[in-house]
Amino acid sequence: MRYLGALILINLLSGCAKEEPIQIDEDTVRDPQQLFEWKLVTSWPKNFPGLGTAPENFARLVERMSAGRLKIKVFGAGQLVPAFEVFDAVSQGITEMGHGASYYWTGKAEETVFFTGVPFGLNAQEINGWLHYGGGLELWRELYEPFNLVPFAGGNTGVQMAGWFNREINSMEDIKGLKMRIPGLGGEVITRAGGTSVTMPGNELYTSMQTGVIDATEWVGPYNDLALGFHQVAKYYYYPGWHEPGSMLEFIVNSDAFEILPDDLKAIVEVATRAVNQDMLDEYTAKNNQALAELIREHGVKLRKLPEPVLSEFRKLSKQVLMEISTRNDLSKRIAESVQNFKEDAMTYHLISEEAYYQARRASSD
Ligand code: CA
């Protein structure tokens, strides 16, 4: 009866006869109570604030919404596979699902960077708009399709911090020779500015800073950076996160595993990713400033802004790097154009909305 009701409702909603009837999977009709047990591997330490709790929240939500029909067990980095093997594990079907960041997979496809975020690119609000209403998700699905993966937004950190340094950054001279952990296109910019960029997972950063394997590191923002204890190994904390203005995390699902789910479980997975995507941003919005205050007041961290000439040079180099990546192939061109057009629109509108409001709010507090 339920399925009949759903069919009638769908027909009513579709409103016209030319629509194809909704196909209902025969197995689902035969056994709507089939149970699924999935493994989800992550690039984060188990239960790490925000990044690591997001997939745990996701698993709990899915289990509740499906009344236990889809159970998901979450593994931290290194528990089942290392942080940077999440993509391969899910792609090859070793696990059904993963949580990480698309820009860790530039070795697979350079265009993955667009789905975490690019230097001086979209902020959190904008990347969510682009993904869900600006064609971004379709392009992401197209990029991941050959890898047998279905991607979903998996959280957003908001604007990150520029990172932790043991020397002050007064000019581009201070970037020369600097060995910094910074992934994505931001890393390429640092390299072109005369530094060396490396990518390594979060759980290796503290020791790498402590032993001098790297001179500087970026991670996320105060809430996450405090948790990793960078204030014990670096003196200066720089802003703004020019390289990661609203980094989007990702959930990836093995296409075959996703396809065999009945439609209601597919919808539950989809809705739970949307919920977790927003929830992470809410958490960072609530926690970042408290953590920053603690870093400064209790740990004596010196907060610094990157000088405008340095930001200006980073902007110039970022533009070059983006231009190059945008012309590699048809798909990279389409993705880059889509992001660029969306950004121009968002900037035009945000000039008279978000930006104007921030300015008005500041002025009114005088
Ligand atoms: Ca980062």
User: What is the mean pLDDT of the segment spanning 48-75?
Assistant: 97
Q: Report the b/e string of 230-268 with b at 16+ CB within 10 A.
A: bbebbebbbbebbbbbbbbbbbbbbbebbeebbeebbeb
Q: How far is the CA of 254 from the centre of ligand 1 (A)?
A: 26
- Look at residue 180 and tell me whether its pLDDT is greater than 70: yes
Phi, psi values for residue 217, rounded to 5°: -150, 145
Q: How far is the CA of 244 from the centre of ligand 1 (A)?
A: 6
Residue 140 exposed, middle or buried by CB count within 10 Å (0-12, 13-18, 19+) = buried
115 plus 91 within the same structural domain = yes
pLDDT for the residue numbered 25: 55
Look at the chain and report how many structural domains it folds into. 2
Instruction: Tokens 């209902």: give the residue.
Output: 24
- Look at residue 27 and tell me whether its pLDDT is greater than 90: no
171 plus 267 within the same structural domain = no
Q: How far is the CA of 270 from the centre of ligand 1 (A)?
A: 25
C-alpha to C-alpha distance for 152 and 204, rounded to whole angstroms:
27
Q: How far is the CA of 357 from the centre of ligand 1 (A)?
A: 27
Q: How far is the CA of 323 from the centre of ligand 1 (A)?
A: 22
In a domain, 14, yes or no: no
Q: How far is the CA of 218 from the centre of ligand 1 (A)?
A: 6
Q: How far is the CA of 292 from the centre of ligand 1 (A)?
A: 16
Residues with CB under 5 A from ligand 1 (ion): 160, 218, 244
- Give the chain's mean pLDDT: 93
Q: How confident is the model at residue 32 (pLDDT cuts 50, 70, 90)?
A: confident
Q: How far is the CA of 49 from the centre of ligand 1 (A)?
A: 14
∠ CA 107-111-112, rounded to 5°? 70
Q: Which of 214, 354, 227 is nearest to 287 (CA)?
A: 227
Q: How far is the CA of 227 from the centre of ligand 1 (A)?
A: 14
Global confidence as pTM = 0.89
∠ CA 357-306-302, rounded to 5°? 100
* Residue 238 belongs to domain spanning: 163-245+299-335
213 plus 72 within the same structural domain = no
241 plus 257 within the same structural domain = no
